[in-house]
Chains A and B, each alone.
Chain A
């Protein structure tokens, strides 16, 4: 069953903690993305990766970090430097340049 999985579905973080959100895909897609969505707003790009061992900053990369060691995996770390991390985080993948993106189910992060 092909698709994109994200875990956990819900995550609670205390002030000052780093947390890592998981994203895995078995679609054999080269490109992967992380977005943030705040209530009533559109999607904002955090980071994206076109190929293994390479990634680029998106529009709101400050306070976040990523790695792309395997084609299937693109984890996102929300660091303590991110001042307002409470949001819905979406991972996506795409088969290639100028192609559609497919989204995982998302992780809802709440800072306590």
Chain B
């Protein structure tokens, strides 16, 4: 079983819609969770960090964490063409220095 798994893409959403991305992790002791956005040919950019159960909102992005079910999700509201990218879920297993990354979900926002 992979440490971090993301729903397979690509995910195509119309402009203005909500994009929903899911991520599950295997290490129950994980404490830190991150979402990165990666445009084609570029490096990953941190967009959200979440450390406790519940929702965390930042602009059009909402991260949701459920440690009991071992999943973390990212919602992108009012999707824009500029949101078209690959989104990487990263988990810090058991408070170590390393992050475990998912393979990413590619989102395409169509006008």
Q: Which residues of A contact B (CB under 8 A)?
A: 31, 33, 41-43, 45, 48, 50, 58, 90, 94, 97-106
Contacts and interface: CB of A to CB of B under 8 A. Distances in A.
Contacts of B46: 100-102
Interface stretch (B59-67, B72-80, B94-102): B94-102
B43 A104 contact: yes
Contacts, number: 48
B11 interface: no
Identify which of A33, A43, A50, A103 gathers the most chain B CB atoms within 10 Å of its CB.
Answer: A43
20 contacts: A33-B98, A42-B101, A42-B103, A48-B98, A90-B44, A94-B97, A97-B96, A97-B97, A98-B32, A98-B92, A98-B95, A98-B96, A98-B97, A100-B49, A101-B34, A101-B90, A103-B36, A103-B45, A106-B42, A106-B43
B interface, size bucket = 20 to 34
B109 interface: no
Given A41-B103, A58-B98, A105 B43 contact: yes
A43 B4 CA distance: 12
Contacts of B42: 105-106
